[in-house]
Chains A and B, each alone.
Chain A
Amino acid sequence: MSADSHDHHDDHHHELPFWQKYIFSTDHKTIGIQYGLTAGAFLLFGFFLMIVMRWSIAYPHEPLPGYLSWIFTEDWKARWLADGKVTGETYNMFGAMHGTIMVFLGVVPLGFAAFGNYVTPLQIGAPDMAFPKLNMYSYWIYLVGGLIMCGSFFFESGAAKSGWTNYSPLAGYADRQFVNQLMTGQTQWLIGLVCLITSSLLGSVNFITTIINLRAKGLTWMRLPFFVWAMLVTGFLLLLAFPPLEAAGIMQLMDRMAGSSFFMPTGLYSKADGVLDISGSGSPLLFQHLFWFLGHPEVYVLLLPAIACVAEIIPCHTRKPLWGYKPMVWAVIILGFLSFIVWAHHMYLTGMGPVISTFFQTTTVLISVPSVILLTSMLISLWGGSIRFTMPMIWAAAFLPMFGIGGLTGLPLAFNLADLHLHDTYYVIGHFHYVVAPGILFGLFAGVYHWYPKMTGRYMDNFLGHLHFWPSLICMNFLFFPMLTQGMAGFHRRWYNGGDAYLEKGAEGVNVFGLTVLDKISWNEVMTASAIAMAIFQLPFLLNMVISYFWGKKIENDNPWDATTLEWATPTPPGHGNFTFDPAVYRGPYEYSRPDHDEDFFPQWEEPKRSQSSETPAPKEETSA
């Protein structure tokens, strides 16, 4: 509660030792970059797991090629591969960890923690987060949690294998043969999760406090950049949605370690263990409820930072105010609220009562309204703008249609009846990967290209940027679009051999969409090739990050994009404490191309001239303590 103990006053001229400046730093910008790099590393690892899985789907009869298997030791291969081929068990392990890593260790920390940390305090004119030490603890707890989860790959039990959702009863008794239950992947997953939740809670408390209390003079609620609004809502989602999952995690930990039956039904039998020595009367449904109570808001925790980045980039690179700023703010607030009461649309097949299914179906359809408001506003913002196709803008422009596909393909899943057919097929995978990969990740890439000059003082290279963008866009679509059609043909998301085994029994079996597995199975190889190609075309990005840092084109001034929000009023890169003057805000966040102003942008911090006295001056009484 009181990490704000600053007994000493930091001296601006005092140089901190290396480990304090870059490792155990309390500066929100350094922590943001730490988050970004760590999350990036986790994303790459999760990507690698996915390529191994995709190999297994496309070539279930062939051993892993050398370029995928070199990372494993011979002992590991002997245990987890069959004649060099991926086994079902290994596929499950990689699948569970791919999901976990991408969601909990990759995208959330990258979007919320990295961008949020770096940009939010700058945009609200704060010297730092409200609790800098707490911020540092957040990062380190996150890192420890992530390492605990991934460390279990080296255990005899292997890492968790019960899906990223960790459904009981499977997750409740997996690895039961191990005498020491603590040292199993499944248990470590839970411990890691508890760490991650703790980190998120500390982070969200910090973010919300910062946004509420550390805004600059004159920065009223409706002058907040949309980015900050999105971060505020995201903070609340994390704050209120994560704790029930923490409860569920602790309960599942009890099931595994103390033999309780929170999520274990009566009479549970497994082939290896017989009738389990448990009391029963628990319910897997309870776990799903508690999991998805977080799980659905989590989707918006992933999404909102990306929308936030795009909403900043579009006005700046089209030289036009964001269309419908106020409706967007209200939409994001309503979206946040509604996201808490739609969770059970993930659970239509669990045997919940139909009454409650109907309730959740209704709220789920409702939530598409604010989502569409957000997307439409950004789309309309392009209309009539003088679009500058800079690297960030290209990514942001691609975000719109890609996220559109992701969002719209979700509609059928909201309906009970359609979902009964599509549940657990590749259609679902295609849908949410469209949201997350070409949607959210593109938005975040746009953010990287946009704020990189502020972080380093240099632009990222355009040629490498294009070499990154175009192949990524093409590969993404070749990877994910076939999933939608495969899903309609009935491809199940947990087929480790890509439907191959299914062919022997019912190759010609036609499902309700009139598609067969045989029709669609050849797409597997195309999709896998796309995935591998996509991996290759991330190299230009990595190179770009490094090369531009040293040799990139230097920016001309502190505000290279001629943007209006406060982060561009800082020196480049911003020093400890951020601002060299006491920032005050005089107008809304997106004052581009104002006819009464000479330049085509009018920054929030620029004092109005006398002729523009209609603009509210900063309230004088708000001085810092």
Chain B
Amino acid sequence: MEIPFVVNARKDTGLFNSKVAIWLFLASEVTLFGGLFSGYLFLRLYADYPWPERTLPVLPGLINTAILIASSMTVVFAWAALKMRNWRSFQINMAITLLCAAAFMVLKSIEYKAKFAHQAVRLESADHPVLDFAILEGHLHKAEIGEDGKLHHAQKDDKGNYSDEAFYANKIIFEADEFVFPLSRHAYGGFVDTIIEQAQSQVVPVTGALKSFFDSVEKNKSKLGKKELKQFEAAQKKGSILSSNLKNLLEEIKESKISEVSDELMALSEYPITLAEDFKLYEIDEDGKRKELEKKNIPAGESLSKSVIAYAEKYFLKAKSEDAQLRTHYLKSAFAKRREAGDDRDGWQIAQSPEFLELQAENAKQIKKRSYSAPGTITFKAEKPLTLHLDPGYVITKDAKQLTLRDDTTIKGTMGDSSMFLAVDGIDFRFTAQRAEEKGIAPEAAITKSWVLKQPELKKIWDSHQEWLRAHTEMLDAKSDKKGLKGEDRYVPTDNEKYRVNWDQIVAYQNYDHKGIYDRAKATINNEASEKCLEKPGWIAGFAGPNHKKMSFPEVTIPRENIGFESTFTPKWNTYYAIYFTITGLHGLHVIGGMIVLGYYLFFGRKMYESNPEWLANRVEVGGLFWHFVDLVWIFLFPILYLM
């Protein structure tokens, strides 16, 4: 059996099969991206926050556009080469197409990476509850929890690396004493792991016999292998040691007096979170009496582990199941009795009848006597407070004494200092201004009260910005004789210019006294000598955004209660980034798909070229059509996402 019209076109339609298919597929792609663009349109039209206009660095997008156009050209050249039976030219053009595609993806990932590393915070302040929607952008700095249990800036070591304990300073710090895990919501999981992991990396000071043990190991260091030596050094430096590392060390150095320090070693290897009370399980014996299942109890003092919780949950569920069977049985029998007694009304009427309620009351007594039970929660205690640092997204409610995590795990203890360390590379009051206008308040009045302007470094930048804005407004005023169609003033500063300080402006303002900014801005506008101008970093310096390695930005410590909403520049931050990542991500997947198909023709097409070159040309044409479509989508994406 052979399918017709695979290579040659059918006469009446003028098409070969795969050409019909690719155009159909492209038609479906049109509505796929149509759906996504509809989403973009809707979200932008009806956004209730200031839509981030022209917010992405243009250069990578521009280069990517050029790359895709170039690859679109080379792919038709490749097809033309095949049509002219020029294999060499086909290879070269196709290879260029693939290289372009790869370059596109590399640039894309550079852009993505920059966004993922860029933090944003929407502020909230107690004295300004409805209006402080100021947004700060920047990079998080790393923090450590010091021996005093407080948050400190993490220090780099000689090699310029942070220690393993350092974390980005936007965590919720909590001194935990007690953990209550729910067994009934069946949701515990990742958070137990987080707690155990953090408990294991607790800092434990080394003293007494253990210290001398370490010293003796120190003397025999030469006997350690490279890896063990590294572990040992890490353990010494941190004053703590992980149990698995410890075992390696013990096996390695047999001549040391392990027995003298074994207790301390064991204490070190076990993190001190244990079951608070006996977890008791019952069963009902043949006489219907409740009997404790001593063998299956979990004794108090059992260390926290996932398997203990799983065990407890298993028995909780078992008890619940037995109980449910009992209740189901009695409920069924109650209905059966009523129906036997000749009650032929509807079920809901029977259920309301006094006779039925009487039966149920009787049953309730039976059930109570024979009911199984197991606790619905399991509680662990930390022998000494455990300092947890948790992702804010895990935590649903927090107060000074208690946290509730997303899976209903409750943690009791004391709230620590959960501030955020942020090197600020963007200040944005547009949201504040929008909300102020909605409330009938002057935006400037609302901005003045913001938490941001209480920070001296940021205040200085904002003042500088006002100076720049003054010069900029004057420049626009000079042009304002050009009116719009309805006589409106077309030359006024945009909201972006008025309420937002961009990273390049921050870099520029930091170099000068804020009072001089006005003159410098004027000089820039008038194209005066460059030493008088306001020097801003150019497109190359901020290729994919502000570069924190090469430029310095003011750092602020934002208290947790002033953080309204925080996220990196991921889909979570706002609907603009959500649609940006979704559309460009899907587009990127199309690029990868196209690469695979075109790469297949390049690397495995030779055989077909020799046997049936027309067929290969057809395939390359079809693959090329797909590739043009990918280009086509980008032609719209670039202006919409980068320039509007």
Consider the complex of A and B and state whether they touch directly, i.e. have CB atoms less than 8 Å apart: yes
Interface residues on A, range: 35 or more
Interface residues of A in 82-104 (CB under 8 A from B): 82-85
Across the two chains, which residue of chain B brings its CB closest to A243? B32
Residues of B within 8 A of A240 (CB): 27-28, 31
Q: Quick check: A156 and B21 within 8 Å, CB to CB?
A: no
Query: By the criterion CB–CB under 8 Å, are B571 and A254 in contact?
Result: yes
Neighbouring B residues of A607 by C-beta, 8 Å: none
- The verdict on A277 contacting B393 (CB below 8 Å), with A209-B20, A261-B578, A521-B346 known, is yes
**In the bound complex, do residue A128 and residue B1 qualify as a contact, i.e. CB atoms below 8 Å apart?**
yes
Closest to A625 in B: B8
Stretch at the interface among A33-41, A173-181, A307-315: A173-181
Q: How far is the CA of A179 from the CA of B619 in the complex (A)?
A: 46
Across the interface, A127 reaches (CB within 8 A) one of B2, B15, B346, B570, namely B2
Mask, B8-25, CB within 8 Å of A = 1, is 101111011110111011
Among A62, A177, A180, A213, the residue within 8 A (CB) of B408 is A177
Distance in angstroms between the alpha carbons of A33 and B317 in the assembled complex: 42
Q: Are A1 and B622 in contact (CB under 8 A)?
A: yes
For this complex, 17 residue pairs linking A to B, each with C-beta atoms less than 8 Å apart, are A1-B22, A1-B623, A9-B2, A83-B328, A83-B331, A84-B327, A130-B3, A131-B3, A240-B28, A247-B39, A259-B572, A277-B393, A278-B572, A283-B43, A498-B348, A524-B346, A622-B11
Report how far A242 CA is from B28 CA in the complex, Å. Answer: 8
Choose among B13, B24, B46, B581 the residue with the greatest number of A CB atoms under 10 Å from its CB: B24
Cβ contact within 8 Å between B328 and A248: no
How far, in angstroms, from A157 to B407 measured CA to CA in the complex? 12
Q: In the complex, what residues of B have CB within 8 A of residue A209's CB?
A: 17, 20-21, 24
Contact present for A281 and B324 (CB under 8 Å):
no
A residues near B376, Cβ cutoff 8 Å: none
Cβ-defined partner of B321 (8 Å) among A75, A205, A206, A625: A75
Q: Which residues of B contact A277 (CB under 8 A)?
A: 392-393, 565
Residues of chain A with a CB closer than 8 A to B36's CB: 247, 251
Contact residues of A between 234 and 250, Cβ < 8 Å to B: 239-248, 250
Say which residue of B7, B24, B392 sits within 8 Å of A208 (CB atoms).
Answer: B24
Q: Which residue from A9, A12, A243, A624 sits with its C-beta under 8 Å from B28? A: A243
Q: Indicate if the CB atoms of B42 and A289 lie closer than 8 Å.
A: yes
Once A61-B350, A77-B321 are accepted as A-B contacts, the answer to whether A214 and B5 lie under 8 Å apart by CB is yes
Asked if A290 CB lies within 8 Å of chain B CBs, one says: yes
Query: Chain A residues near B4 (CB, 8 Å)?
Result: 127, 213-214, 624-625
Identity of the chain B residue whose Cβ is nearest the Cβ of A270 in the assembled complex: B396
Contact of B191 among A77, A179, A244, A245 (CB under 8 A): A179
CB-CB < 8 A to A214: which residues of B?
3-5, 17
Q: Mark A576-605, 1 if CB is under 8 A from B, else 0.
A: 110000000000000000000000000000
Least CB distance, A209 to chain B, in whole angstroms:
4
A177 to B321, Cβ gap below 8 A? no
Q: Mark A14-46, 1 if CB is under 8 A from B, else 0.
A: 000000000000000000000000000000000
A58 CB-CB contact with B under 8 Å: yes
Known contacts A78-B317, A128-B1, A577-B1, A176 near B406 by CB under 8 Å: yes
* Most A CB within 10 A of own CB, among B18, B46, B348, B577: B348
Q: Is B256 an interface residue (CB 8 A)?
A: no
> Which of chain A's residues has its CB closest to B407's CB?
A177
Most chain-B Cβ atoms within 10 A of its Cβ — which of A12, A179, A180?
Answer: A179
Q: Give the complex CA separation of A2 and B626 in angstroms.
A: 12
User: Which one of B318, B324, B346, B572 contacts A525 once the chains associate, using CB atoms below 8 Å?
Assistant: B346
Number of cross-chain contacts by CB at 8 Å: 272
Measured between beta carbons, the chain B residues less than 8 angstroms from A281 are 43, 47-49, 574-575
Q: Which residues of A contact B5 (CB under 8 A)?
A: 130, 213-214, 624-625
B457 at the interface (CB under 8 A from A): no
B6 within 8 A of A: yes
Q: Tell whether, in the assembled complex, residue B575 and residue A279 are in contact, meaning their CB atoms are under 8 Å apart.
A: yes
Point out the residues of chain B lying under 8 angstroms from A541, CB to CB: none
Interface of B is mostly: helix
Task: Tell me which residues from 185 to 208 in chain B have a Cβ below 8 Å from any Cβ of chain A.
Answer: 185-191
**Interface residues of B, count at CB 8 A:** 88
A415 to B265, CA, bound (A): 78
Instruction: Decide if A503 touches B348 in the complex (CB within 8 Å).
Output: yes
A244 CA / B34 CA spacing, docked (Å): 7
Write the nearest CB–CB distance from A17 to chain B, whole angstroms.
Answer: 17
Q: Closest CB-CB distance, A256 to chain B, in whole Å?
A: 11
Q: Which residues of chain A come closer than 8 Å to B186, judged between CB atoms?
A: 79, 156-157
CB atoms of A258 and B570 under 8 A apart: yes
Residues of A467-506 whose CB lies within 8 A of B: 498, 500, 503
Main secondary structure of the interface of A (DSSP, over half): loop
A625:B18 contact, CB within 8 angstroms: no
Partner of A244, one of B31, B43, B567, B581: B31
Whether the pair B317, A131 counts as a contact (CB closer than 8 A) is no
- Residues of the A chain whose Cβ atoms lie less than 8 Å from the Cβ of B49: 279-281
Question: B390 at interface (Cβ–Cβ under 8 A)?
Answer: no
Measured in the bound complex, the distance between the Cα atoms of B330 and A83 in whole Å is 9
Cβ contact within 8 Å between A63 and B347: no
Contact of B571 among A9, A79, A258, A286 (CB under 8 A): A258
Query: Known contacts A4-B17, A177-B407, A244-B32; is A258 also within 8 Å of B1 by CB?
Result: no
Q: Evaluate contact between B13 and A260: CB separation under 8 angstroms.
A: no
Task: For chain A, residues 609 to 625, give those with C-beta under 8 angstroms from any C-beta of chain B.
Answer: 619, 621-622, 624-625
Q: Does A606 contact B (CB under 8 A)?
A: no
B335 at the interface (CB under 8 A from A): yes
Cβ-closest chain B residue relative to A4:
B6
A78 with B20, Cβ < 8 A, contacts A621-B11, A622-B11 known: no
Question: Contact check: which of A74, A128, A290 meets B39 at CB < 8 Å?
Answer: A290
Q: How far is it, in angstroms, between the C-alpha of A266 and the C-alpha of B408 when the chains are bound? A: 24
Whether B3 lies near A2 (C-beta < 8 A) is no
Residues on A with beta carbons closer than 8 Å to the beta carbon of B325: 74, 77
Distance in angstroms between the alpha carbons of A469 and B11 in the assembled complex: 47
- Residue A318 is within 8 A (CB to CB) of chain B in the complex: no
Cα separation A176 to B396 with both chains bound (whole Å)? 11
Q: Are B328 and A84 in contact (CB under 8 A)?
A: yes
B29 & A1 in contact (Cβ 8 Å cutoff): no
Chain B residue with Cβ nearest A525: B346
Does A132 interact with chain B (Cβ within 8 Å)? yes
Q: Kindly list chain B residues whose C-beta atoms are within 8 Å of the C-beta of A180.
A: 189-190
B533 interface residue (CB < 8 Å to A)? no
If A179-B406, A243-B29, A622-B11 touch, whether A4 touches B3 (CB-CB below 8 Å) is yes
Tell me if A273 is interfacial: C-beta within 8 Å of chain B: yes
A window 411-430: CB within 8 A of B: none
Asked whether any CB of chain B lies closer than 8 Å to the CB of A514, the reply is no
Closest Cβ of chain B to A318, distance in Å, is 33
A82 partner residues in chain B, CB cutoff 8 A: 324
Within 8 A of A (CB), among B292-348: 317-318, 320-321, 323-325, 327-328, 331-332, 335, 346-348
Most buried by B among A248, A274, A277: A277
Most chain B CB neighbours (cut-off 10 Å) among A6, A12, A63, A289: A63
**Candidate in B28, B573, B623 with the most chain A CB atoms within 10 angstroms:** B28
Q: Does A358 contact B (CB under 8 A)?
A: no
Residues B623 and A250 in contact, CB atoms below 8 Å apart: no
Q: Give 6 nearest A-B pairs by CB, closest first.
A: A244-B35, A84-B328, A624-B4, A577-B1, A179-B190, A247-B35
Asked whether, in the complex, the Cβ of B332 is within 8 Å of the Cβ of A62, the reply is yes
Mark interface residues in B21-62 (1 if CB within 8 Å of A CB, else 0).
Answer: 110110111011111101100110011110000000000000
Q: Check if B331 sits within 8 Å of A84, measured CB to CB.
A: yes
Q: Is the CB of B24 within 8 A of A83?
A: no
A142 at the interface (CB under 8 A from B): no
Q: Is the CB of B6 within 8 A of A282?
A: no
**Known contacts A127-B1, A127-B2; A84 and B332 CB within 8 A of each other:** yes
Q: A62-B335, A500-B348 are in contact. Are A273 and B406 (CB under 8 A)?
A: yes
Chain A min CB distance to B331 (Å):
5
B-contact 0/1 string along A210-243, CB 8 Å cutoff: 0011100000000000000000000000011111
Known pairs A209-B24, A283-B42; A259 contacts B567 (CB<8 A): yes
